[in-house]
Structure 1
Amino acid sequence: MHVGNVKDCDIKRHPTYPNFRAEAIRSGVLSAPTSRLWESLIAMGRLGDLAGDDTWRLVVLDCIVPCFRSLSVQVAREFRVELEEIRSAMVVTALEVWAATASGVSPRLVRDRMVKAAFDVAFRRGRTGTPEYTTDRLDIFVPPEAPDAGRSLRASSIIDVGQVRDAEVAEQIRGERLGALLHGLGCFEAVQGFHEEMRAGRRSGSISPAVKTSGLARSRFSNNNLYYYASDLYPSFIGLREAAHVIGLPESTAYRLIQAGEFPVPVARAGNSYKVSVRALMHFTDIPDAIVHADDIENGARHARGATR
């Protein structure tokens, strides 16, 4: 990166900022204390602070924040707290560490201290935060279809879960709506098998005990072991072609983005192919991963097929 007047530089072959940022992110993840790039980044930030210029400090922050994303999503999901609140606390904490390490701390250590403090505050906020009951809508799961006058319940009903103030009612509606949708898609038999295995104790959902005991409106009288994330019904990974189709990219473009390290969703190499995490894909495409109860799912499917309880 240019320091001072670009016209006075003798090199003339500096990277573009996106390339520079991508390399800084990779270097930070691999080993920030041994990275000359990060040592230079921190040093430039300190010089900028002395000159009253916050440009390089913002560059440092811009290259650190991407590593906050996955952890903040995990904490918000496990403890049912607001994602933006967690991320804001992480950024503020990172900047506080930046100020606290202005003197007496080697530039090699600053980046890792900022990240560690941000991670610590994320978990503290998660454990002490007030659980937020999700008001995610499941309407976007619904494929285009012609109106069916004979259907007793559709997933995209006139009830807007986001407007339901009673958390217990909203929780039940989410489950029943998804159950009705699964019945409409013709895949409820597989879901029923999933539920039977849960009831028999042969498998369980991915909800953490902390969420079961504090983050669910009806857990005081519902069987906690029958709560699960909607994503538990889907395969853990899908192929790159399917993932690219969901995102809206040609498969060839997806391959190019992976080679450049710019594919928007983490991918795993499986032999000569790539696999994409379904949960990561859902997060990227804003598909809600609601917590549901097996009883609600079954009630919704039962109502959709016109049976009585």
Structure 2
Amino acid sequence: MPDVFDRIEWKVCDVFGEGPVCVHVGDVEECEIKKHPTYPKFRAEAISSGIRSAASSRLWESLIAMGRLCDLEGGDTWRLVILDCIVPCFRAVSTRISRDFRVDREELRSAMVATALEVWADTAVGVPPRHVRDRMVKAAFDVAWQLGNSSPSEYPTDDVEIYDGPDMSGPLPSLKAASVVDLNFMRDADFAEQIRGERFGALFERLGHFDVVQLFHEEIRAGRRSGSVSQSKASGLHRYWISNPNHYYYASDLYPSYVGLREAASVMGVAESAARRLISTGQFPFPVARAGRSYKVSVRALMHFKDIPDTIVYVDDVENGALHARGGAT
């Protein structure tokens, strides 16, 4: 009977299959380092690296960073990859404790995964990425031995609970554009969606950068590219059925996915050297991806840090807002 370890492995394999995996920036096509193994080979390397020493492994430092970035975007793929690369060292211990102490093995393994995820959440801030794996493993081992040495107690075994992602349902900060309309109190969701896009277009027009937005829209309309809004996400939009779902996009789609640490530090108002020190001590305010000897900073993470909402907008609404901002001129 499959247990939580098997379910983790199967889910990750469904996502990556035999394809190449990029742990530098998460996307093989966008990565500047053209060295990407298949997932089975990558997983074997990560497992071996963790056994040697996670504290000195750049691979694990990158893995942890990708997991944190995925968390910020409300996903769980890279968090599951991290678990998938950790649980092989849990198997022997859980089997031994289950046999010697007559503890239900599935319950034991679910407890180890749940505990590892608790440590994952607790180490999101203030812990250098290179130490996170070791803490997750140690805590999982500790809870396994406690469960074996004590009377059975309740641990979460529901896979849905274990894989439940971080709560991203809180209200997003609104765009800082002059308006007498507060979207948080607007009852007409269709109208709120429209106003949100118009504000976005008006903001870019006032900044003098709407020509870039217009080129992006032309690419979308021609079918040469599309926004990163998934079908499941788009189906939750209020005008999905009367609008072209492929014409919705995230604000961050207008920017490159990653920028260098120097550019990010400039936006943050700190020196690059100071940013590097913060990264090394685990005090940087959001995760960064390692690409070789350099760092790449997620633009979405940078926007989140600067309280710039990654709004979903529709091309027509954005253009209407820009047109209004320039006085209705065509």
TM-score band by shorter chain is 0.5 to 0.7
**How do 1:1-309 residues align onto structure 2 when only pairs under 5 Å count?**
31=86, 34=89, 63-66=119-122, 102-103=147-148, 118-122=161-165, 136-139=173-176, 155-213=177-235, 215-270=236-291, 272-307=293-328
- 1:74 maps to none
Which deviates the most, 247-256 or 165-174? 247-256
TM-score, length-scaled by structure 2:
0.53
Which deviates the most, 287-296 or 299-308? 299-308
Query: Could you tell me which amino acid in structure 2 is paired with residue 204 of structure 1?
Result: S
- 2:37 maps to none
Structure 1 residue matching 2:310: 3-state secondary structure: coil
- 1:9 maps to none
Counterparts of 2:88 and 2:291, CA distance in 1: 31
After superposition, the Cα gap between the structure-2 partners of 1:60 and 1:226, relative to the gap in structure 1 and judged at 3 Å, is closer
After superposition, the Cα gap between the structure-2 partners of 1:243 and 1:119, relative to the gap in structure 1 and judged at 3 Å, is farther
Deviations 1:137-180 (A, max 9, x none): 111xxxxxxxxxxxxxxx32222222212111111111000100
Query: Could you tell me which amino acid in structure 1 is paired with residue 319 of structure 2?
Result: E
Mapped contact 2:173–2:307 kept (Cα < 8 A): no
Structure 1 residue matching 2:296: 3-state secondary structure: strand
Deviations 1:30-87 (A, max 9, x none): 636638xx99xxxxxxxxxxxxxxxxxxx97752325899xxxxxxxxxxxxxxxxxx
Counterparts of 1:67 and 1:220, CA distance in 2: 42
Mapped contact 1:236–1:278 kept (Cα < 8 A): yes
After superposition, the Cα gap between the structure-2 partners of 1:176 and 1:162, relative to the gap in structure 1 and judged at 3 Å, is same
After superposition, the Cα gap between the structure-2 partners of 1:260 and 1:135, relative to the gap in structure 1 and judged at 3 Å, is closer
Counterparts of 2:314 and 2:170, CA distance in 1: 14
**Count of residues in Structure 1 that have an aligned counterpart in Structure 2:** 211
Structure 1 residue runs without a partner (length 5+)? 1-18, 40-58, 70-97, 106-110, 127-131, 140-154
- Aligned identity (percent) is 51
Query: Could you tell me which amino acid in structure 2 is paired with residue 190 of structure 1?
Result: V
Counterparts of 1:208 and 1:158, CA distance in 2: 31
Counterparts of 1:115 and 1:282, CA distance in 2: 34
Mapped contact 2:190–2:239 kept (Cα < 8 A): yes
Structure 2 residue matching 1:295: 3-state secondary structure: helix
Structure 2 residue matching 1:192: 3-state secondary structure: helix
Mapped contact 1:171–1:292 kept (Cα < 8 A): yes
Shift of 1:285: 3.4
Counterparts of 1:114 and 1:254, CA distance in 2: 40
Structure 2 residue matching 1:179: 3-state secondary structure: helix
Query: Could you tell me which amino acid in structure 2 is paired with residue 120 of structure 1?
Result: Y
After superposition, the Cα gap between the structure-2 partners of 1:60 and 1:198, relative to the gap in structure 1 and judged at 3 Å, is closer
Mapped contact 1:135–1:170 kept (Cα < 8 A): no
After superposition, the Cα gap between the structure-2 partners of 1:133 and 1:173, relative to the gap in structure 1 and judged at 3 Å, is farther
Shift of 1:121: 3.5
Counterparts of 2:192 and 2:322, CA distance in 1: 17
